[in-house]
Amino acid sequence: MDNYLVMENITKVYDNGIMANDHVNFSARQGEIHAICGENGAGKSTLMKMLFGIEQPDHGQIIIKGKPVHLTSPTKAIEEGIGMVHQHFMLVPSFTVAENVILGIEPVKGMKFDMNKAIEMTEEVCKKYGFDINPRARVQDITVGVKQKVEIVKALVKGCEILILDEPTAVLTPQETAELFVQLKLLRETGHTIIFISHKLNEVKELCDRVTVIRKGRTVGVYNVADVTEADISRAMVGVDVVLEIPKDEAKPKENVLVVKDLGVYNDAGKKVVKNVSFSVREGEIVGIAGVEGNGQRELIDSIAGLHVYSEGSIKLLGEEIHGKSIKELRQLGLVHVPEDRMTLGIAGSMSVKDNMIADKLDDERYTGKILNKPKNIKEDTDKWIKDYLVLCKNGDQQVNNLSGGNIQKVVVAREFTSYNRLLICDQPTRGIDVGASQFIRERLVKMRDDGKAVLLISADLGEILNLSDILLVMYGGEIVACFKDVKSITEEELGYYMLGIKKMSEEEIGGALHA
């Protein structure tokens, strides 16, 4: 039954003009577990929000069991048999499990809430689908894994037939994950359709029947999981854009600029996500970090950039320990940072291109006096940068929001590269942007290297990272598992083995990342 759930030609434009979905097609059969894979910002969450009635599509239609539906609210979606477990749980901590489960369909006896009936309803569903939960426990007292089960039961009680799970394993231990999978397979047997959003490809491989890959708001393809490898899925996610090799000479590295030693970092949930990492970046070289998302790169970079506090080991920038230094002090030392999430960290959306380019240079005497700005100098320089960095905009006064992703990224790059810099951190510098802009940014990076800057590059784009890096590190499970000094000789396939944790280099080889 291939028209069980069909999302056809779905287009969604957000109010700020970002096109999150561009004619996306998606369909799922009854009784299958269907994965949706894609990078951050590829549009998978947007698509699911439309299926759960949180957002409405601008074009296209949603068909459930052959009948077009208009899902104008989650209530409507629930009526159509759709349930969603969000990444962040939607539970009331001070309520009991049963109270949470029946929220929205409260049973009543006369005027009063019928607690016994609620417990009965919860127990019934738990028994039917084999969940082991105490309905009387308070949600604040149960573990994350159980909370997730409560979320699922909550959806099942309302008669859900299509269950959306948004990155359900992100917060679970391996044991909890295994348990969850058993339960999901059980649900599949009872005819439920499960949509599983994840970028953990091994889980997709283990659990799912089919996978739909989305990239830059478009459907790349639908595959039977049995027919494809993890590498195939990964390639489809990142894209096989023809990367033109950027020509570059042999690196001539000089002094150390960044030295990271025995670094250990905990994430906000208190889990150790960077373990014992040591490496250095020297003047005139590009050090690349490859790895599947979620293997500690995020926290490593945030720690170096001063956005996250690290607890073990040391990070030295030009010989100075950065622990406790403000971002302003780090920037004065010569750190610049092209962040991964350009919309949240990289720009102030409703301000002008000019304002965005100058944001980190406000204390520079060329642009501001004691009190007043120097508009003439600001205009002169920003106009020049707009030209130099090929930012396609009418003029510097245009709102940066109104530019396309590629042009916004050029604004970010222009700002960072024109500031005083010794160390450039470039986090996914070309993610989600067009080929032309990507090429341009890569050329600039190589040029900065040739000018004697130290460059730390993080990228999920293997072609890019293999082309640009002079030294390539691979992160897996919070550790550096490989250090390649001769990047030219690595194949993507071999790199893949390290990224998936199948292979690991010796301590000695990995130690080569740190230059004394």
Q: Give residues in contact with another protein (CB under 8 A).
A: 11, 13, 15, 17-19, 22, 58-59, 307, 326-328, 330-331, 337, 339, 344-351, 355, 358-360, 362-363, 368, 371-373, 375, 392-394, 398-399, 402-404, 434, 436
Write out the two tokens for 112. 């009063």
* 455, β-bridge pairs: 286, 424
The answer to whether the CB of 251 falls within 8 A of the CB of 470 is yes
**Least distance from another protein to the Cβ atom of residue 258, Å:** 18
Distance of closest approach, residue 56 Cβ to another protein, in angstroms? 9
**What's the rounded Cα separation, in Å, for the pair 273 and 479?**
8
Residue (55 or 161) nearer to another protein, CB = 55
Compare residues 363 and 380 and give the one whose CB is closer to another protein.
Answer: 363
Please, what is the minimum distance in Å from the beta carbon of residue 378 to another protein? 10
Pick 241 or 355: Cβ nearer another protein: 355
CB atoms within 10 A of CB 284: 19
Rounded to a whole number of angstroms, the minimum distance from the CB of residue 404 to another protein is 6
List the Cα angle 164/168/170 in 5-degree steps: 150
Q: How far apart are CA 7 and CA 50, in angstroms?
A: 10
User: In terms of CB distance, is 172 or 351 closer to another protein?
Assistant: 351
CB 309, min distance to another protein, A: 14
CB 55 within 8 A of CB 49: yes
Question: Tokens 């002094």 appear where?
Answer: 255
Nearer to another protein, 11 or 30 (CB): 11
Give residue for tokens 């049973």. 107
Cβ 397 to another protein shortest distance, Å: 9
Q: Minimum CB separation from another protein for residue 403, in Å?
A: 8
Q: Kindly state the smallest distance separating residue 75's Cβ from another protein, in Å.
A: 18
Structure tokens at 175: 């044991």
Structure tokens at 366: 């060329």
Upper half-sphere CA count for residue 270 (Cβ side, 13 Å): 0
By beta-carbon proximity to another protein, the closer residue of 79 and 364 is 364
3-state secondary structure of 186: helix
Cβ(399)–Cβ(359) below 8 Å: no
CB of 402 to another protein, least distance (A): 4
Of the pair 79, 355, the CB lying nearest another protein is at: 355
CA distances from 28 to 24, 162, 212, 215, 391 (A): 14, 9, 10, 19, 41
Distance (Å, rounded) from C-alpha 211 to C-alpha 384?
46
Contact 448, 424 (CB under 8 A): yes
* Distance of closest approach, residue 148 Cβ to another protein, in angstroms: 29
**Pairing mode of beta strands 67-69, 210-215:** unpaired
How far is the C-alpha of 142 from the C-alpha of 137, rounded, in Å? 7
- Name 79's Cβ contacts closer than 8 Å, sequence gap at least 6: none
Nearer to another protein, 166 or 360 (CB): 360
Between 182 and 390, CB nearer to another protein:
390
Closer CB to another protein, 105 or 359, in the complex = 359
| Span between the terminal Cα atoms of the chain, in Å | 63
Cβ atoms < 10 Å from Cβ of 511: 13
